[in-house]
Amino acid sequence: MIFILLEMSLLKKIKSLSEAYSQETIELRRHLHAHPELSYQEFNTAKFVAAKLRSYGIDPQEGVATTGIVALIKGKNPDSKAVALRADMDALPIEEASQVSYKSTSPGVMHACGHDVHTSSLLGTAKILSEIKDQFEGTVKLIFQPGEEKNPGGASYMIRDGALKNPAPASIIGQHVMPLVPVGKVGFREGMYMASSDEIYLKVIGKGGHGATPELAIDPIVIASHIIIALQQIISRNASPKQPTVLTFGRIIGDGATNIIPNEVNIAGTFRALNEEWRASGLAKIQKMAEAVAEGMGGKCEVTISHGYPYLENNPELTRRIRHSAEEYVGKENVVDIDLTLGSEDFAYYSHVVPASFYRLGTRNESKGITSYVHTPTFDIDEDALKIAPGLMAWMAVNELSLSK
């Protein structure tokens, strides 16, 4: 009974602190939003985050994977157990179209995926945990990483540089904005959640010529067309219907004209899968078929594959535990199920090393006109989400640490 009362008291305190610091968290988010930096270029962002951590009495380890930061918040008996919390810091090469007061001041660069929210939220969590560190046991590891938006993914470099060591966390938790979920709600999914992601680049080489004499040329545009159609058959006839997978080509460049057949055509696309064996097999088939179709039509196809993130699987037990924490924090009625997606996230790398769970923070508010999806020029959030997010993650971390190792 005493333990339950203490637990409820701590929950109430965390909620109170999250609410009290919400305006500061919002201001942090607006600063980050106005000063975005591209993947692996987050130098000023990292300095800003480190300075804020120091102001909270937390000593950050800077320069991990160049611009990444790791920091520890040690409670009582700090060696008993550790849990990691992760945020990403990079922005996207998008020109912001909104006219908000905190609009990006960097031309062609925008926080269109909510990483400003993730970073400011984790800073808020850090401030809360630093204030209550005498009320929990163990250590909370904070991971602020670069380069989530660009292969091979900053998470892979953070792991390489020891972010999951000294101490090794028993679990890791990540948060991401979700513009399809109303503000005030939080989404979870156990098990397989997000796809692997690889970039496909095809250079189709032919022989240029006059559009009126195609017999004297080897038309790479026609070859490219056949390759694109043929490659879709890998998805429809080689992948199991029970195995979600996607192959999409979003860019085709053939610098000819109405009467000019170009020498080459360049194609770029993405391949998504939820199974590593099929991922490897599918990529091999893509390369083989593209090369064979081009050769059969008298041309050549050079295939370049940029290997990206693996699939992301949410550890079921961990996900159930943090879902329960969320139900305690926001109410069971505000915790929702989310569906499997073929989107990808480099948080997946962590999930292949340590039990991990990636949940979604609702940011949508139709009455305020906040409905744009991520990776769009008009993306924004209902900042009421930042009244919830820092305390929610703090409560999840404290509950994780309370479990026996």
Q: How far is CA 280 from CA 33, 159, 287, 344, 398, in A?
A: 37, 23, 11, 17, 39
User: Does the pLDDT value for residue 123 go beyond 90?
Assistant: yes
User: Does the pLDDT value for residue 209 go beyond 70?
Assistant: yes
Tell me the pLDDT band of 7, cut-offs 50, 70 and 90: low
Averaged pLDDT, 307-314: 96
CA distance 313 to 256: 45
Return the axis-axis angle of helices 2-20 and 316-330, rounded to nearest 10°: 70
Q: How far is CA 172 from CA 140, 283, 340, in A?
A: 10, 30, 20
Q: Determine the Cα angle at 260 with ends 248 and 219, to 5°.
A: 55
User: Which of 140, 114, 150, 176 minimizes the C-alpha distance to 38?
Assistant: 150
CA distance 322 to 316: 10
User: Does the pLDDT value for residue 3 go beyond 90?
Assistant: no
DSSP β-ladder status, 171-182 and 191-194: unpaired
Which neighbouring-strand residues pair with 303?
202
Mean pLDDT score of the chain: 96
User: Does the pLDDT value for residue 404 go beyond 70?
Assistant: no
Q: Which pLDDT belongs to residue 403?
A: 82
- Residues of the chain with pLDDT > 70, as a percent, come to 98
The percent of the chain in helix, strand and coil, each rounded to the nearest 5, is 40, 25, 35
CA distance 30 to 120: 9
DSSP β-ladder status, 264-273 and 196-205: antiparallel
User: Does the pLDDT value for residue 6 go beyond 70?
Assistant: no
User: Does the pLDDT value for residue 387 go beyond 60?
Assistant: yes
Assess contact for 111 and 376: CB atoms under 8 A.
Answer: no
User: Does the pLDDT value for residue 4 go beyond 70?
Assistant: no
- pLDDT tens, residue by residue, 255-291: 999 999 999 999 999 999 999 999 999 999 999 999 9
- Residues of the chain with pLDDT > 90, as a percent, come to 96
Averaged pLDDT, 115-138: 97
User: Does the pLDDT value for residue 248 go beyond 80?
Assistant: yes
User: Does the pLDDT value for residue 8 go beyond 90?
Assistant: no
Assess contact for 346 and 155: CB atoms under 8 A.
Answer: yes
Q: How far is CA 131 from CA 50, 58, 215, in A?
A: 17, 11, 76
User: Does the pLDDT value for residue 213 go beyond 70?
Assistant: yes
User: Does the pLDDT value for residue 346 go beyond 90?
Assistant: yes
Q: How far is CA 177 from CA 204, 254, 332, in A?
A: 39, 37, 19
**Listed range (2-16, 117-131, 243-257) with the worst mean pLDDT:** 2-16
User: Does the pLDDT value for residue 87 go beyond 80?
Assistant: yes
The domains of the chain, with CATH numbers, are: 2-194+311-402 (3.40.630.10), 196-306 (3.30.70.360)
Active site residues: 90, 148
Q: Which pLDDT belongs to residue 295?
A: 98
CA distance 237 to 246: 13
CA distance 164 to 153: 16
Using DSSP, state whether 360 is helix, strand or coil: strand
